[in-house]
Amino acid sequence: MGQRPGERRAILSGSTFEEQIGYARAVVDGDWVHVAGTTGFDYAAMTISDDVVEQAEQCLRNIEVALTEAGCTLADVVRVRYMFPDREDFEPCWPALRRAFGGIRPAATMLVCGLSDPRMKIEIEAYARRPTAV
């Protein structure tokens, strides 16, 4: 971890979107980790499933990778935002979301909105607080 309070560090996933648009998958700012809207793309292959539940599970894996690089885990997440173009897709994702967050209960919001690519059926933002180093 070794980051001083107030230091800022970008975490990149290798997504072509990060390069094309100019953002980072996550930003570590002191004890806080801000994970950008993460979609169901497998960023290594730049592929995406047609199934919303599979996309949700991939979103969570992508978030977990960023959090690990930041020095924390899903258990450190304090806030999530779920974004869906189709509100009917939210409920089928509940089991996957519950597996990830049911034990920690972060504050959560679900939004219905358009996403930047019509293949995207879910996008998730997460905010975590890194454990305090002893």
23-65 pLDDT, tens digit per residue, is 878 899 999 999 987 999 998 888 999 999 999 999 999 999 9
H/E run at residue 32: strand 32-39
Q: How confident is the model at residue 2 (pLDDT cuts 50, 70, 90)?
A: low
Q: Tell me, what's the pLDDT at 118?
A: 96
Read off the pTM: 0.88
Does some domain include residue 50? Answer: yes
Report the domain count for the chain. 1
- Domain residues for the domain of 101 are 8-129
Does some domain include residue 33? Answer: yes
Q: What is the mean pLDDT of residues 125-131?
A: 95
Amino acid symbol at 84: F
Does some domain include residue 25? Answer: yes
Q: Tokens for 102?
A: 């049911």
Does some domain include residue 115? Answer: yes
CATH of the domain at 95: 3.30.1330.40
Q: Is the pLDDT of residue 134 over 50?
A: no
Does some domain include residue 1? Answer: no
Residue 46, judged by CB atoms within 10 A of its CB (0-12, 13-18, 19+), counts as exposed
